[in-house]
Amino acid sequence: MINLNHAVQFQHNLWQEALAKAHCIVDATVGNGHDFLYLANHCAPHASLFGFDIQLAAIKATQERMKECSRRDISWQLSLGDHADFLGPDTPLDYPIDLAVFNLGYLPSGDHSLMTKADTTIRALQGALSHLTPQGMITVVAYPGTPEGAAEEAAVLEYITGLPQRDYDVSTWRPLNQRNQPPTLYILRGR
């Protein structure tokens, strides 16, 4: 059954088609590694996964979680640093991106003062979009429950709303009857 009240889980349903044929998958904010492991377990053979996070604790948690992955027909790499440093428009990437995922905010078990920021998230999105394959997909889960998260979501929404319709399909998914400002899922697909 599709979970209709949880943005992070709901996006897994959207990833299925992309994962079946993706060669390059990017997790721009690996966090505790749950999404990275999911992507690794469900991607096509010979796919390459790249994961980034600004916190060493997140990289270590994801490395530990990947011990649960028995796939030997894929490659994966984790890098410590801001997603804008790896995906920004001025960063030379040597691979086209089929699927990129962003789970914004802070590391739940980490330092809550270290959060994704609107400016670097926008730069990372610009870079990911510039390398997105035709029909490639980007999902962004934003958390408006804190003032910082609300500001970041507003900036992301403003940016993606302005993307040209001829190049991208942009949509959103949000639970409507949930309390405490639940996360919002944004979906971007190349045309």
189 in Cβ contact with 169 (< 8 Å): yes
Characterize the bridge pairing of strands 184-190 and 168-173. antiparallel
Per-residue pLDDT tens digits of the chain, which is 191 residues long: 666 667 888 899 999 999 999 999 999 999 999 999 999 999 999 999 999 999 999 999 999 999 999 999 999 999 999 999 888 766 666 789 999 999 999 888 777 888 999 999 999 999 999 999 999 999 999 999 999 999 999 999 999 999 999 999 999 998 888 888 889 999 999 99
**Is CATH 3.40.50.150 what the domain over 7-190 is classified as, yes or no?**
yes
What per-residue confidence (pLDDT) applies to 176? 82
What per-residue confidence (pLDDT) applies to 90? 66
Question: 180 exposed, middle or buried (CB, 10 Å; 0-12, 13-18, 19+)?
Answer: exposed
* Alpha-carbon gap, residue 68 to 41, rounded angstroms: 9
| pTM (two decimals) | 0.94
3-class DSSP state of 72: coil
Give Cα 174 to chain centroid, integer Å.
16
Q: Taking the domains of the chain in order of start, what are their residue ranges?
A: 7-190
Nearest residue to 137 via CA among 24, 32, 33: 24
181: left (phi over 0), alpha (psi -120 to 50) or beta: left
Give Cα 53 to chain centroid, integer Å.
11
Hey, what's the torsion of the CAs at 172, 14, 101, 20, to 10 degrees?
A: -160
